Amino acid sequence: MHLTRALGQPIIIDNRPGASNTIGTAVGATAAPDGYTLTWGSTTALSTAPVLMPNLPYDPVKDFAPVIEYARVPALLVVNPSLGVRDLQGLVALAKNRPGQLNYASNGPAGSLHIMGELLKVTLGIDIVHVPYKAAAPALLSILANETQLGFDFPVTSASHVRAGKLVPLFLTGRERAPNLPDVPTAADVGYPQLEVIFFGGLLAPAGTSRQIVLRLNSEMAKIVRTPEIVDSLRSTGAVAPGGSPEDFRKVISEELVKWRRIVKVTGVKME
C-alpha cells in the first residue's frame, strides 16, 4: 500500500512458496531488469539455502541488485518452565548432567531452527536430541506442551508465551535486545557471542536493473520504513528496520552467506 502510493503503480503480490523460498526467489532472479518485478529476499533463500542446496538456479550475490534491507530479527532460545532452568548456564549444567535426555524442537531437517539447535550443541558442548516438526508453529507447540523441552523460535510468536510464563527465555541471537522482549539478554550478554545470528528480509531487483531505478526504489522504501506505523509494527514483532543503502544490503547478504556457510560446516547439517 505504501509503495503503491509512493510510485503511483499498483503492486501485485505473486506468492511462490516452496523449497525453502527458493522457487519464488529463482523467478525473481530471472525477471526482466526493468524495475517492475521485485523479490522479497530472506535469510532462508539468500543464506541457508545456497549453502545447503548447491545446485540452486540462482546466485544470491550475482543475480540480484539489492534495494534495501527491510527487517532484521533475532531468534530466541526458549525452554519449558518444567525444566527448572532460568538461564543458559542452568541449561548447560542440566544438559551435561543428563546427556541425550533433553529434546529440542525445530522447523524440520536443515531448517534454520535446526541449524541453530546444532550450533547450540556444538558451541556449548552439550548432547541434546533433535526432534523435527514440519514447521515452526508445531515445533513451538511441542515446547509449550512439554513434548520437547527447548528450542529456538522468534519473538513474534514466543513473546506472548514468555510474558504469560508459559516459556522461559534464555537468550536472543541478535546483536541487540528485541524491542518486544527488552529484558531478555543477547548471546553476547550471556557470554557466547559466537551464537550471534540474525535473520533478515529485504527487497531485491534483478541484476542489471539500472542504478537510477534501484536508487528510486531505495529512496521510497527508506521513507516507508521510517514511518511510525512501520517502525511500531516491526518493533511489536521483535524486529527492527535497518534501512540503509543498496550497498549496505549487499554487504549484509555477502557477509551472512559467509557466516551461514561456516555455521553449516561446523554443525555438519545436511539436506535430507
- Condensed to tens digits (0 to 9), the pLDDT of residues 100-149 reads 999 999 999 999 999 999 999 999 999 999 999 999 999 999 999 999 99
- Condensed to tens digits (0 to 9), the pLDDT of residues 21-56 reads 888 899 999 999 999 999 999 999 999 999 999 889
> Which structural domains are found in the chain, ordered by start?
2-71+197-267 (3.40.190.150), 76-195 (3.40.190.10)
Question: Phi, psi at residue 108, to the nearest 5°?
Answer: 120, 160
Q: What is the mean pLDDT of residues 11-29?
A: 81
| Kind of pairing between the strands at 76-79 and 39-42 | unpaired
Residue at 226: amino acid letter? R
Q: Is the model's pTM score more than 0.85?
A: yes
- ∠ CA 84-85-89, nearest 5°, is 155
Question: Phi, psi at residue 164, to the nearest 5°?
Answer: -85, -5
Residue 79 above 80 pLDDT? Answer: yes
Looking at residue 21, its pLDDT comes to 80
- How far, rounded to the nearest angstrom, does the alpha carbon of residue 245 sit from its chain's CA centroid? 20
Sheet containing 64-74: which strands, arranged edge to edge? 39-42, 198-206, 64-74
Provide the 3-class DSSP secondary structure of residue 34.
coil
